[in-house]
Amino acid sequence: MQTLHPRSYYRLPWSLNDNVLSWLEPTKRCNLYCEGCYSRNDPASDKSLEQIRSDLDVFTAHRRFDSVSITGGDPLVHEQIVEIVRIIRREYGLKPVLNTNALALTPELVRALKKAGLFGFTFHIDSSQHRPGWTGKSEVELNELRLHYAQMVAEVGGMSVAFNATVFPHTLEEFPDLLDWAREHIDLVHSMVFILFRTTRAAEFDFFAQGRQIDPGELVYQDERRLPRPLTAPDLVAALRQREPGFEPCAYLGGTKDPSSFKWLIAGRIGDARGIHGYVGPRFMELTQTGHHALTGRYLAYSSPRMLGMGRTLLLAGALFDGGLRRAAMRWAGAVARRPWRVAARAHFQSVAIIQPIDFMPDGEANMCDGCPDMTVHDNELVWSCRLDERLRYGCFLTAAPRKVTSERSSQSRSSQSQPSQLPSSHQSHQSHQSRSSSSQQGSGS
- Report CA-CA distances (Å) from 31 to 40, 78, 128, 261: 12, 11, 14, 34
Residues 6+ away with beta carbon under 8 Å from 211: 443
**What distance lies between CA 142 and its chain's CA centroid?**
20
Domain 6-394, CATH among 3.40.50, 3.30.1380, 2.40.50, 3.20.20: 3.20.20
Angle of CA points 262, 264, 268, to nearest 5°: 110
Centre a 10 Å sphere on the Cβ of residue 141 and count the other Cβ atoms it contains: 12
Q: Which residues contact 375 (CB under 8 A, 6 or more apart)?
A: 16, 19, 22, 23, 63, 382, 383, 384, 385
| Confidence at residue 410, expressed as pLDDT on a 0 to 100 scale | 53
**How far is it between the farthest Cα atoms of the chain?**
93
Is residue 195 within 8 Å of 254, Cβ to Cβ?
Answer: no
Bridge partners for 399 per DSSP: 208
The predicted pLDDT at position 406 comes to: 55
Instruction: Report residues of the chain scoring pLDDT below 70.
Output: 1-2, 222-228, 405-446
What phi and psi values does residue 381 have, to the nearest 5 degrees? Answer: -125, 150
pLDDT in the model for residue 198: 87
Neighbours of 29 (CB within 10 A): 18
Closest among 324, 176, 328 to 241, alpha carbons compared = 176
Residue 194: predicted pLDDT: 98
Return d(Cα 191, Cα 47) in angstroms, integer. Answer: 29
Residue 87 carries which DSSP code? I
How far is 176 from 311, CA to CA, in rounded Å? 23
pLDDT score of 409: 54
- Give me the pLDDT at residue 218, please: 86
Task: Name the DSSP class of 346.
Answer: P
> Which of 346, 336, 274 lies closest to 306 in space, CA to CA?
346
Per-residue pLDDT at 445: 33
188 CB neighbour count, 10 Å cutoff:
18
User: Which residue(s) pair with 352 in the sheet?
Assistant: 192, 267
Q: How far apart are CA 383 and CA 301, in angstroms?
A: 20
- Give me the residue spans of the domains in the chain: 6-394, 399-444
CB 259 within 8 A of CB 16: no
The pLDDT of residue 220 is 82
